[in-house]
Structure 1
């Protein structure tokens, strides 16, 4: 197998990895803040936490799957 990642693939993969890693880090920070702040211990806080959790999971898929596949494009 030979990697056929063009410069466009590498740029896209690095951007995906960087932006989504930052989004995961900020999302986890947001979840920690929602958990610690009393003002979010209500229905709105639960909604915000569940939405943030979904976004973190979606961004983790990009970090763990999409970005590496884009960076290491293999032609069979």
Structure 2
């Protein structure tokens, strides 16, 4: 299911931290935080099982400091 695989893909392929003037130094981020929240109906109030995922913009840099 995408809910289970997307957070790992995001961390491995996309997430990065930036440091320095204008973010000139970029490194892969690690230990990202994503939470999935189940919803049971559509905005029209009809039954529709689906999930919403929220990803934090904070991450751990390679030097173990949080950004």
Greater share of helix residues, 1 or 2?
Answer: 1
Greater share of strand residues, 1 or 2?
Answer: 2
- TM-score over 0.5 (shorter chain): no
Answer with 1 or 2: which has the greater Rg.
Answer: 1
Which category of TM-score, normalised to the shorter sequence, fits these structures? under 0.3
TM-score, with structure 2 as normaliser:
0.26
